[in-house]
Amino acid sequence: MTPRPSCAGGLRRALTLATLLCAVFAATGCQWGRSRGYWQDAQPPAVADARALHARWQRTALCDCGTRQLVSATEAEPYSAEAAGLYYGAALASARCLDAADVDDAVRRVAWETYQASSKGLLAALARQTPSSVGGPLVVTVDGQAAPLTVSMHGFAWDAEDVQRLTVVESYGAESLSHVHRRCGVGVPVVIERRQRTGRACERFLPARLVFAATAVLRPAAQDDASAKGTAATLELYNPHAIATIDFGGRRMPLAGDLSAALAYHAIRESGGVNPIASFLDPGASTGDQGLYFLEPYQPGKIPIVFVHGLVSSPSTWTDMVNDLRATPGFDEHFQVWAFRYATGSSFLRAAAHLRRSLYEAAATVDPHGEDAALDSMVLVGHSMGGLVSKLQVVDSGDTLWRSVAARPLEQIAADAATRQELAEVLFFERNPHVRRVVFIAVPHGGSSWATRPVGRVASSLVRGDATRDAMHARLIADNPDVFAPAVQRRLPTSIDMLEPSNPLLVAIRGLPVVPEVRVHSVIGTGGMFSAVEPSDGVVPAASAYHASAETTTYIPARHERVHREEETVRKVQAVLAQHLAEYAAASAQAKRAVVNRDGR
């Protein structure tokens, strides 16, 4: 009798993989797939609300400030061209009413509410009608005539042609955000989706799909001609991170803003991207999505803060911290956010080489003449294994790493040119002169016992190797018998292999001193289950996370996956950046004085 094919082997493998992924998720707090939460699209103003406004207006004034048009707009077909034209007219009428000199407080309040409701209705309708070309000149039909609506940008590094899709902010919630930063004022908070490539020097470091926050303000054009119909207007888009007040209605007004909406929108709607678990298991499958990228176009004079994620994670793990930092007064004026994505399954030495090369290329691309001093004052913030990738930017390797795994100098081994070049790039390097400060958060400088446990062994065995590099490694070992240490003989080490406390490469890295020009800070988690026995964040012991060169060491009672999201950690990073900015400003002033003294002026 022919035996029936058994699925037991496949089932065991599936269960093993599921158990592994759950364990890794629990240990590292990785974020993958879409963030749970909700996003509610903006709805037109309610008819009842518009009628109530109109009734209030009739009790306070003899003329109309747009409330009648607002009522008509809410009664028209939602999002239609007719509704858009009526909202447009209502917004302009109420804006001119606000600008009048003889408006009393009761009238002003009604005009203000009419303006806000009409602007929101207009933007919601425009977003539905022209979803892919908001950045160009817009036309609204008013009483059968075309009314021009030009778009202008204020306070952005973005250009008008970057505005490809506009979404009015209504209500939302995302698990990746612990706080929502918003303020009331004139204008309508919106999220803008950017897709278009514009040919800037930094374009290669901008993802093809990005979103950013804006506040939309509809402003009537100046009426120099008494016969003008009053339909020409400008849709002004303001950067709420950079601008807090504007002139409107004859006075200085606070600008409305939702500083968290764009991050929530991206987390909920646009975060398909690369699954960190898939990237971990198959490091070579998503190379096109890996590398350094900017949150906004490069801005001269602003210091780059580079965020580096940890094992089985992605840049989205920094959403909470970026949200809170960008809401800090003065942050956007002095800093720009960059992030580095890498496949976490392969050796973090390779990721460090990639980051080192990327930082050099970014600086050379956006500042080819080396005129921006801010690019020589970068700050790296690394969580977990990302801290090891960051440390390898601020040390000189010499031949220490090579000697930890090889018994013969590199120039004496038998290898082809390509193999020799790759070994040199990964194991021989000098510190990156662009980096001046590093913040380590829950970093396993001394490794983690998780790497030696069964879950770590299984996880390491599931990482898929690169066929070309595996063949290169096999030839290298075969052509150089008794040269390489056992830790690298069997196969190219994975990231988990290198996190074993006894791994010779990790031991060598821990012994490399950070160069004196760089300042170091450590944040260490102590919220692990058995911290009373051994202080730990549940994954990395406090003793492993401790770095002797750190100027400051902060202990936070949080688990490994939460340490970088804790409010106390954010406050620590804020304090570090304030110190960094003060030192940068002092050094810049000293450099200017030196130039003056040298030139005798």
| Cβ neighbour number for residue 151 with a 10 Å cutoff | 18
- Give the separation between CA 295 and CA 337, rounded to whole angstroms: 6
Q: Which of 131, 290, 300 is closest to 201 using CA atoms?
A: 300
Region 409-421: what's the mean pLDDT? 95
User: Would you state the pLDDT for residue 305?
Assistant: 98
Which residues on neighbouring strands pair with residue 555, listed in sequence order? 524
How many domains does one find in the chain? 2
**Is the CA virtual torsion 460, 464, 469, 475 positive or negative?**
positive
**Using CB atoms within 10 A of its CB, is residue 248 exposed (0-12), middle (13-18) or buried (19+)?**
buried
Q: Which domain holds residue 103?
A: 41-263
Does one domain contain both 101 and 168?
Answer: yes
Please enumerate in sequence order all residues whose Cβ is within 8 A of that of 433, keeping only pairs 6 or more positions apart, or say none.
376
Region 424-451: what's the mean pLDDT? 95
Does one domain contain both 545 and 571?
Answer: yes
Does one domain contain both 218 and 341?
Answer: no
What CATH number did the domain enclosing 510 receive? 3.40.50.1820
Q: Would the pTM of this model clear 0.85, i.e. be above it?
A: yes
Which of the pair, 572 or 312, is modelled with greater confidence?
572
- Give the separation between CA 330 and CA 242, rounded to whole angstroms: 8
Does one domain contain both 349 and 246?
Answer: no
- Give the separation between CA 338 and CA 308, rounded to whole angstroms: 9
User: Would you state the pLDDT for residue 231?
Assistant: 52
Q: Tens digit of pLDDT for each residue in 341-379?
A: 998 888 899 999 999 999 999 999 999 999 999 999 999
Question: In this predicted structure, which of 82-91, 123-132, 149-158, 480-489 has the lowest mean pLDDT?
Answer: 123-132
Residue 395 region by backbone torsions, left for phi larger than 0, else alpha for psi between -120 and 50, else beta:
beta
Does one domain contain both 146 and 226?
Answer: yes
Which of 233, 263, 293 is the endpoint of a domain?
263
The answer as to whether 396 is a domain residue is yes
Q: Tens digit of pLDDT for each residue in 523-573?
A: 999 998 776 678 999 999 999 999 999 999 999 999 999 999 999 999 999
Which of the pair, 571 or 176, is modelled with greater confidence?
571
Does one domain contain both 529 and 460?
Answer: yes
Does one domain contain both 309 and 255?
Answer: no
Region 303-316: what's the mean pLDDT? 94
Region 465-486: what's the mean pLDDT? 91
User: Would you state the pLDDT for residue 271?
Assistant: 54
Which of 235, 263, 291 is the endpoint of a domain?
263
Cβ pair 34, 266 in contact under 8 A: no
Region 215-238: what's the mean pLDDT? 75
Question: In this predicted structure, which of 136-150, 238-252, 389-403, 575-589 has the lowest mean pLDDT?
Answer: 136-150
Does one domain contain both 236 and 336?
Answer: no
Does one domain contain both 285 and 249?
Answer: no
Does one domain contain both 197 and 300?
Answer: no
Confidence band for 194, pLDDT divided at 50, 70 and 90: confident
The answer as to whether 346 is a domain residue is yes
